[in-house]
Amino acid sequence: MGNYGAIGEQIIAVFYKLVMSVKVHGENNRTVKDISDVFLSALKAFSKYEPVITIKISESRFYFQEEKLAHRRETLGLMGKARDYFSERGIGEVRLIYHESITHADIHKAAFFLNHSVKAADPLLWLKKKLEIEKVLWLECEETPEKRDDERPVTQNQKIYTVSPAKDSRKEKGQLTYANALQSIKNVAEKVSGQSFAGIRKTQRMVQKMVDLIIEDDSILMGMSTIRDYDDYTYCHSVNVSILAMCLGLKIGLSRKSVEILGICGLFHDLGKVDIPSEIIRKPGKLTPEEKRIVEKHSMYSVTKILKLNAPRDIKSKIIRAPFEHHIKFDHSGYPRFNPNRPVSLYGRILTIADVFDAITSPRAYRPVAMSPDEALGRMIEGSGSAFDPLLLKAFVNMVGIYPVGTLLQLDTGELGIVSGKGRGANGSRPDVMVIKSARETVFKKGPVISLEERDSTTMDYIRNIVASFHPGRFGIQPAEYLV
């Protein structure tokens, strides 16, 4: 469906006229019945494209299906009145859900509650209780986006996910984009776990911004993808997988549109885990065979959740397969069982690599000490041709280098540093490193970025050499705090 602007204006205007008509004339007036018919027809017509209509008010502007409505002189007065009507009741988001059983009585009842809610001490709370008690299922109202916690990038580690004004603009955008992507997947997961309709327009916008940043400078989001949050593992993992998958997609020459679809697949690949009991997800010991079978259902659960999203069918058809496939493995030895004569899709093979790399470099309840990134690559190379597509894995290793961004290195100078970039070498064996601790220091702090390609001008020997590599979590280090 094309531009929503005219349709959005029409539905908002009719909705506002409807509640005003009920307020002035009461339920049985001819005018009220006529406008109710118009309203129902508009809902029914739009439901052929999307099952839920979302209207938001943010910074005095209307958003219809997440698209900002333009100010037009012809409708400015009416739209302003409608905006004031909702704001007066503390309403910042309205969801209209069409179904064949909606009657005029249902519409009039909701309009009556809307009008009378303004008399309550807390209009929105009173309204929501009334709609719930009276089982009005076609209308949902929420508070203003500015007040809602789920609109703010919040996590237990504010140091990482919030923006420092001292940062340069690209790093600011990287931090904010990561935070919003994290919040976006959280919002979707919370809604689908509560059997509520969840849209993906916000997610699509976040992915588009992520692609912009990766094209501009992939080191920003690659640095952010080193974030490891034990308490927020599933959501951070989903964002990290999305970033790694998109970087690999661009590396092998996929189109921008394909990379965006791949990014959405990455964000939603573990959506089905909301149906897995948390005591199993967080179990510190080995899973029982039955618990393992439950966990292995999450790929199929992800498909079920994606099918229920408020999104156009063509989008859903493009983002279903890869989440289903990401544990099947290149040789079909994984799960769920899949037709061995049908190869895993390109998106599925990319997700498998991104998923495993982030997973085995992340501390988990059953594995408090994770592999260092370079160890993880070595382990994955052992699975080339079986677990992983060998050509894609080779491209991935070339992309991240032998010592991927975020690897903690001990140098023969006594310095400790975090890999900040692949460096000028072909294979990344001598990466760029941010020094965080010199031989004379006892605390970690951000230092200079050095190249391990540097040589002594007299002897032509390398000035610094790698002695050992570690997972930064072993020292309580979050690489993103230093790199971004």
**Which pLDDT tens digit goes with each residue over 34-56?**
899 999 988 888 887 777 888 98
| Mean pLDDT, rounded, for 69-74 | 76
The Cα-based distances of 161 to 170, 181, 297, 450, 465 in angstroms read 14, 11, 31, 26, 33
Q: What is the pTM of this model?
A: 0.66
So what's the pLDDT on residue 340?
83
**In angstroms, rounded to a whole number, what is the distance separating the alpha carbons of residues 116 and 126?**
9
Secondary structure of residue 434 in the 3-state scheme: strand
Q: Token match 């005219």: residue?
A: 6
Q: Yes or no: say if 444 and 371 are a contact pair by the CB < 8 Å rule.
A: no
Per-residue pLDDT, 155 = 40
Can you give the pLDDT at residue 229?
62
pLDDT above 70 covers a percentage of the chain that reads 90
pLDDT over 80 (residue 62) = yes
Q: pLDDT for 243-299, tens place per residue?
A: 999 999 999 999 999 999 999 999 999 999 988 998 888 888 889 999 999 999 999
CB 386 within 8 A of CB 377: no
Model confidence at 151: pLDDT above 60: no
Report the alpha-carbon distance of residue 331 to residue 342 in Å, rounded: 11
3-class SS of residue 450: strand
Percent of the chain with pLDDT over 90: 43
Q: What does residue 254 show for φ and ψ, rounded to 5 degrees?
A: -65, 155
